[in-house]
Structure 1
């Protein structure tokens, strides 16, 4: 933008300077020519009285004096055809001056200034010759000076444009940097009120927007924390009811489930009030732990659970809590959308460069319309958030969530690629 602004000023200034310089150059040339002609007329005018007296000797002496000391060659054409002074052709302009009045006419290599002089009733002509070099004397120097002034003005205009661009663009760059920081989640980024009034207004509006975003996010986090906190009361009741169970074999799995729910609620409250930064974990350990948890439910619903997990450690760019939530959403999807007795398989393999890939395949009816995997949409009466949670977890680690068909073209395959 700085280059375009400078180029625009350069083009505008050049047009203005050309519009000023060209007429000025022509005026300087015409003025120099007129000055030379005026000087020649003054020189010739001083000879009129001498020539009109008819004294040829005095005229001869005066003409020779002018031709020696003067700037312009002088010639006198007498009525009888004789010539005094510098040898010059008797041109048509001389004949016209002899028949009429004083004139100035073009001649070879310059101009001739002609005076009609009455000598005893007959017309003599005084010719003063001005060469082209004399007509343009000093013009080249004036043009050079005019060009130098134009270049100086153009340079000053470019310098002013460069400075103006800096005054405008530096605050613009700062505003862009603050916008990028806000887009990356740095809500402490604020713009400085600098530059022209319009840019200061934009900076103030951007700061107001950042403050509003912070307020909305804080309010949203508090609402999530409050909602999670409300779950603690029914969890407490559920724990008390579990402890009242007399059969230890029945009580133990229920207690583990209640503990898992309580852990999830506590993590939700903590994450809502103190959003965690991206972390890392061992995918092998997390996936194994969540598969073990869901295996108990698989036994209760007569599902065959096949597990093929690569040995760890398999580090991925995702926190253990986020990966556990993603795995829970994938496995819960199998239980929610396939009938009891449907077999499923969980595979964990390392990726080529880094990270890991988790496949959850089932032998159910297959994938419904892929639109159900959009956030908030579901055809099974659920919230429609589970697979979106897995997708966002994959994206946060630098991977992606892929949908396909299970082995042999049967059922569904959901692949969680983690970076």
Structure 2
């Protein structure tokens, strides 16, 4: 890149020098040529006036009397019609510049000047122009090298910073370079480092929460189901069948928890993908509809369809499950799930017809151990951590009736601006 910057800068400078240099040479050449013609013409007029003045005074017109009136070059003078020509000075060799002045009395003067002086002056001007061009090229080279170093050195530094982030060093450099575009990239890398640190902290906390909150109840549930499955006498066959299915589900949940506790962030990186929001919402509604039907309540959805977001499908499903479960446990009436778009974000809102969040809780409802209904207060905190780990956020946008909103990054599509 450094070489390309230098070469492109020099190419522009050379083109400018060529265009303006050639134009300047042409203009200077014409100026010198016109000045020489004007000088010779002026000499002819002056010599012609001297000849007429001598003739009017009756003085002889000879080479001796006119010698003092000729400068450089030569002249041919005719003192009247039929008079012999008088040659003054030395006729120049090679190219000549001539000018003739004549009158009605037959007097004529022709002045000759060699082109050597004109050529020398043109040569001096050309050398000056070439010297200025060389100085311009030298200055352009210095500026190009300096500008290339100014741009490539920060890019190298930014590449090293990105490499450090990829290798696990999430400390930001907070270094700026005085170039707005490069400073913007540095800001993004520093923000990414802070975001990665927060994501790792949230993941460790989530793993600890999952271990504490899920391992014990899953073990107890597994033992209870095993006892049910072992009962054979006097029990319907469907009980054993359902118990066996439940045991299978418990084993799957236990495996998920175990992988959550043991896998590192590097092994699980890149899980955020483009996902269909409708699929996750539909899956959650189907999963929770039996529980709501049993409670004589309804769960419905509305809003814009066909939205896609960049997130982890499992995490989004878990966040929605937490919100739907809270509405079932603490809310009343119908639960509505609404999807919409705001800016470059997809929003999934969950609301019910219950009394909502107490005024004294407000935004503290997402803090750990904070609950208004004698629960652990962990569900919403874990749900917010999951949302932030995907680059989104979970907010309480309205307290009465309660409206929880999950904000996710919208997946860019062709044609979007």
The TM tier, using the shorter chain, reads: 0.3 to 0.5
Normalising by structure 1, what TM-score? 0.47
Larger Rg: 1
